[in-house]
Structure 1
Amino acid sequence: MNLHCRPDDDEDLSSPPTSSSQTSSSVASSEEEEDFLDWTCEARRGGSLKEVDLERGSRGWASPPGNLFQVRGANYFAKKSKVPAGDWLSKPVGVDWLRSSARLDHILGRSSGNRIVKSLEQAHRSGDGLKTFLLAINLQVPGRDNHSAVFYYAVEQPIVPGSLLHKFIHGDDEFRNGRFKLINRIVKGPWIVRAAVGNHAACLLGRALTCRYWRGPNYLEIDVDIGSSTVASYILHLALGYVNSVSVDMAFLVESQSEDELPERLMGAVRIAQIDMKSAVFVEPELTGWVAPSPTTTITPGTSQEKCAMSSSPLQSNLSWKKLSRGFSLLAHTSKVAGKVDDEHTRCEKNGFE
């Protein structure tokens, strides 16, 4: 079934991804898919970045098929073999490209509300989306204007107790930091970008950068602080801007570290296609009357336990997606210098070649 909303006249949406490795447990009934479409259509259309065609689109986001990414297969520990990832564990429901005078923490729990949360709450009132669990990944880019790229995903099927995703959602921060992985690939861009970043570079973000985890009753938000590493900040500060000419795919997953956890599955993926930095929507920081909850505490929207930290990075605001992707890749290569990553994760893995 086509999981895309019916496009508006001026929209050009991508074709739905397909995968031969999709398991029966992840296939929703037609009625469930209709409910999913009902509440997510507004969410997918409502962000500052529009959804665009996967192959031809620009100035927006798209959903790359999971098979474009190589992950650890069932025989990885015996043969170091990697395989196409197959379908995602969650479905994309939107992207926000935001800027603010302060670092934006805990997007889903803002007292002023979040558009994805509001869409889901409205669906709940009509009886739809009652089982939905939200995943949000907030990439925080420091600067004179702090930027956040927020990717939203919805898990419609019950999360199996004991599964790797269940352990990640309900585990502690130490477990999450040792498992939260990014795979990136440059789809389009100048040769200097491709040479600097490489392709299919994988990195444990929680080992290299500060990640904050916000756990709500029906969501998990992961805030990735790019400014938390001097190595990453240095790379980002020196990098040239190619934001208008670069398209990058990013996939997020929980790393499998034992045979019983194989094969790896993607939590979600996104393509950012030649975006315009100026398209970021300004969001007022919640500096008065709002404090962020502790990342280690199960919370409900609006509760407060821990104050938000302000970003004090001197980096300029003209940072690009190219720099972000390049920073992740080179950070994993150079992390021994920073003393943050050991063994296999002192470098970016080249999927399919290990």
Structure 2
Amino acid sequence: MCTTKHKQKQLHQSQSNGCFSSTLTADDSIEGWREEAIAGGSLKHVDLQNGTNGWASPPGELFNLRGPNYFAKKVKIPSGEWLMNPAGVDWLRSNAKLDHVLARPDNRVMNALRNSKNSEKSSKAFIVAINLQVPGREHYSAVFYFSSKVDESLDSNSLFYQFINGSDAFRNSRFKIVNKIVKGPWIVKATVGNHSACLLGKALNCYYHRGPNYLEIDVDIGSSAIASAILKLALGCVTAVTVDMGFLVEGQKEEELPERLFGAVRICQMEMSSATFVDGVAPTSKVLPMSSGGESECDDN
């Protein structure tokens, strides 16, 4: 088992190779709870360029988003540094659809945050989790966790703040994914390429769960026949596919540009069998989280 110091060294090395978009150093970079969350996921953190059956953090420059003059000139520019930090990935299998995973008392990321030794800093952390719910005979969830940066609070005037605290209708109109097949069969590249940018809140049923220090977005991929067909194609050769996914709030006005990713993840040739089983019925919890449900368009914008 790696010591904490050794883990910090490994994570710092990964960061210098482009795995982390933040510029924090090994001494204060990975808050203890977030280091635990990254290292303990059911899908392991791997090298950005050569890793397999795991996840990595692609830098923002790999994603082209709407630039400051987009509405006049339709110009996209490489995204800058993410708004949040990576906080781990889970690949889960269950006997029922997994909804609102952050409210489960057995959620390892929230437990790592609650049990943090550096309670003063961790108490200020805000988590955004994206739970992609994969349909099938068994239920799968790919959960991507992102956390606010150390000593940074969310700007109350920002578009991201509006998204976190806005209505479900606003979220559905702005929640966007940009994706790219980095490695994979040509048919998967061609198919996904036609849906390289998508307003998930309009294309799929999305359910938003707002807790005191988190926002979880449950994305029901099975709610769209097109999305299910694309996913089925990708899963058929999943061990040969590496895909980058970036998440952002779409800018729809000049003053909301340029767009910025709040998080991104690279899934590297994942194996279905690597999923961890989680009982669909959550253990009894005394927590009474706030939650709300959303309603259910993909394009190249």
Q: TM-score range by the shorter chain?
A: 0.7 to 0.9
The one-letter code sitting in structure 1 at the alignment partner of 2:300 is C
Aligned in 2, Cα 1:84/1:152: closer, same or farther, shift over 3 Å?
Answer: same
Query: Structure 2: 5+ residue runs without aligned partners?
Result: 1-6
SS of match in other structure, 2:121: coil
Which of 36, 42, 51 in structure 1 is aligned with 2:36?
A: 42
Aligned to 2:169: 174
Correspondence 1:132 to 2:84: no
1:168-317 mapped onto 2 (5 Å cutoff): 168-198=163-193, 201-237=196-232, 241-286=236-281, 302-303=287-288
Corresponding residue for 2:3? none
Number of residues paired by the alignment? Answer: 291
Using structure 1 for the length normalisation, give the TM-score: 0.75
Counterpart for residue 6 of structure 1: 9
Tell me, in whole angstroms, the C-alpha distance in 2 between the residues paired with 1:163 and 1:145.
Answer: 39
Aligned partner letter, 1:5: Q
**Partners in 2 of 1:275 and 1:163 — Cα distance?**
35
- Distance change in 2, residues 1:239/1:116 (3 Å): closer
CA RMSD of aligned residues (A): 3.0
Q: Provide the residue aligned with 1:333 in structure 2.
A: none
- Greater shift, 190-199 or 150-159, is seen at 190-199
How many angstroms apart in 2 are the aligned matches of 1:307 and 1:221?
10
After TM superposition, give the deviation of residue 216 of structure 1 in Å: 0.6
For 2:99 and 2:19, the matched residues in 1 are separated by 34
Distance in 2 between the 1:86 and 1:147 partners?
31
Question: Tell me, which stretches of 5 or more residues in structure 1 are unaligned?
Answer: 291-300, 309-339, 350-354
Q: Give the partner amino acid of 1:302.
A: V
Match in the other structure for 1:332: none
State the Cα distance separating 1:185 from its structure 2 match. 0.5
Larger radius of gyration: 1
* Aligned position for 1:76: 70
**Correspondence for 1:149:** 142
Distance 1:48 1:288, change over 3 A: closer
Query: What's the CA shift for 1:37?
Result: 2.9
Whole-angstrom CA distance in 1 between matches of 2:127 and 2:66: 25
Quick one: percent identity of the two aligned structures?
54
Give the superposition deviation at 1:123. 1.6
Q: Secondary structure at the match of 1:256?
A: coil
Superposed CA deviations along residues 134-176 of structure 1, whole A, max 9, x for unmatched, are 1100000011110000000011211011210100000000000
